[in-house]
Amino acid sequence: MTVKENTIAPNGPVINLSKKDFESDQEVRWCPGCGDYSILAQTQRTLPNIGIPREKFVFVSGIGCSSRFPYYMNTYGFHSIHGRAPAIATGVKITNPELSVWVATGDGDALSIGGNHFIHLMRRNLNINVILFNNRIYGLTKGQYSPTSEFGKVTKSTPFGSVDHPFNPISVAIGASATFVARTMDRDPAHMQETIKKAADHKGTSFVEVLQNCNIFNDGAWFKYTEKETKPENVVYLEHGKPLVFGAQRDKGIRLNGFTPEVVSLKDGKYSEADLLVHNENDPNSTYAYILSHMMDNTALPIPVGVFRSVETMLYEEALMQQLKTASQKMGKADLQALLESGDTWEVK
């Protein structure tokens, strides 16, 4: 790796990396036009700016289109098994706490077979970063409905429409006590870079949902929110300390009516920005962030994009290391052979 001078590493020399340093020699094999290309590009553009040497990064994935990600990153990585990336990433982080560990996963990989692993990673709060590619479909296996597919979705596996109610990934993460939760979009590269950078800087588990287009099996699933013609009226950007204002003319806002968000007009003088919700991503109580997450479930409301929640609490790996240290001081150095020969033992001949 070529070392130049630009970015200050946390405990080392000044280093300078570029996007090219994170590009592997593997041919990127996603369908032309897939939103995954944008996620890969923005990740490769962002990581050089967080001050960590390239050899300290590890990317872990499960199964699915998103899970090809480690091949395309010129870092360490594991292409693991379906839904189990959080478990493997946990093992990597605990045994090598100095590493920057990232999980690349999809809505199917993380929320179906991997659902249990996902929620426990969120609640434990290891210093791990998770990027979830959400295209609301199983793309690698050719277009079956996924845990985030909308009710009534017609696919090859639901020819008469899905009767499952979809998971809301942001709500799931917040409900599992994630300390950093954010949403961005494949067609907003600047915002994605900003969001990934914030996730990387967070001390604890960071979860970033990316609304990503599958142009082969679910084309246009998010176009209402990502296209310039419709985006201003259907997306509200979350900015810490600022009121929730949106619209092509910035003439609409979100206020709370009890616990229910509602859209109000700022044009007729009845409401002003003083009446609106002011975003607080650092609220230790997750209720506010959870209310925001469910705005996606109401078609009359814009969807929030940005950081929903960013709080700091005890890190799992730090608590574990302290526990091991205390136990070692109390009980002395462990003797594996003595442990194996203790208690009831027998010899097989």
Could you report the per-residue pLDDT of 222-247, keeping only the tens digit for each? 999 999 999 999 999 999 999 999 99
- The CB density around residue 11, as the number of other CB atoms within 10 Å, is 7
pLDDT-derived band of residue 1, with 50, 70 and 90 as boundaries?
very low
Torsion of CA 85, 91, 92, 98, to 10 degrees: 130
Q: How far is residue 245's CA from residue 261's CA, in Å, rounded to a whole number?
A: 13
Give the other-Cβ count within 10 Å of 229's Cβ: 9
Q: What is the pLDDT of residue 11?
A: 55
Kindly tell me the burial class for residue 22, based on how many C-beta atoms sit within 10 Å of its own C-beta (0-12, 13-18, 19 or more). buried
Confidence band for 148, pLDDT divided at 50, 70 and 90:
very high
Residue 6 pLDDT exceeds 50: no
Q: Where are the alpha helices (DSSP H) in 228-301?
A: 231-234, 287-293
User: Using one digit for the tens of pLDDT, what is the confidence trace for 247-259?
Assistant: 999 999 999 999 9
Does residue 315 contact residue 127 with C-beta atoms inside 8 Å?
yes
Which of 16-25, 191-200, 335-344 has the lowest average pLDDT?
A: 335-344
Instruction: For residue 9, name the pLDDT band (cuts at 50, 70, 90).
Output: low
- 48-92 pLDDT, tens digit per residue, is 999 999 999 999 999 999 999 999 999 999 999 999 999 999 999
Q: Answer with the residue of higher pLDDT: 153 or 15.
A: 153
Burial class (CB within 10 angstroms; exposed 0-12, middle 13-18, buried 19+) of 178: buried
Query: With bands split at pLDDT 50, 70 and 90, how would you rate the model's confidence at 349?
Result: confident
∠ CA(57), CA(148), CA(225), 5° rounding? 85
Give the Å distances, CA to CA, from 222 to 60, 149, 239, 247. Answer: 26, 12, 22, 18
User: Tell me, what's the pLDDT at 2?
Assistant: 36
Q: Between 347 and 44, name the one with better pLDDT.
A: 44
- Nearest residue to 202 (alpha-carbon basis) of 126, 132, 279, 134: 126
Q: Average pLDDT of 144-155?
A: 96
pLDDT for 4: 40
Q: How far apart are CA 75 and CA 295, in angstroms?
A: 37
pLDDT digits (tens, 9 = 90+) for 297-329: 999 999 999 999 999 999 999 999 999 999 989
Q: Crossing angle of helices 85-95/115-124, nearest 10°?
A: 30
Question: Does 293 have pLDDT greater than 60?
Answer: yes
Residue 339: its pLDDT value, please?
Answer: 84
Q: Residue 344's pLDDT band (boundaries 50, 70, 90)?
A: confident
**pLDDT value at position 253?**
98
Tell me the CATH number of domain 7-240+280-318, given options 3.40.50.970, 1.20.58.60, 3.30.70.150, 3.40.605.10. Answer: 3.40.50.970
Query: DSSP assignment, residue 14?
Result: E
Which residues face 320 on adjacent strands? none
End-to-end Cα spacing for the chain: 54
What region does 273 belong to: left with phi over 0, alpha with psi -120 to 50, or beta?
A: alpha
Window from 11-20, 30-39, 96-105, 199-208 with minimum mean pLDDT: 11-20
Contact by Cβ (8 Å): 41, 189: yes
**Residues constituting the chain:** 349
Burial 55-88 (b: 16+ CB within 10 A, else e): ebbbbbbbbbbbbbbbbbbbbbbbbbbebbbbbb
What φ, ψ does residue 61 adopt, rounded to 5°?
Answer: -135, 170
3-state secondary structure of 183: strand
Average pLDDT for residues 7-18, to the nearest whole number? 65
Q: How confident is the model at residue 14 (pLDDT cuts 50, 70, 90)?
A: low
Query: Where exactly does CATH 3.40.50.970 map onto the chain?
Result: 7-240+280-318
Question: Which pLDDT does position 13 carry in this prediction?
Answer: 58
| DSSP class of 67 | G
Predicted confidence band of residue 102 (pLDDT cuts 50, 70, 90): very high
User: Rg for the chain (alpha carbons), in Å?
Assistant: 22
pLDDT for position 72: 98
Q: What is the largest CA-CA distance in the chain?
A: 91
- Mean pLDDT score of the chain, rounded to an integer? 94
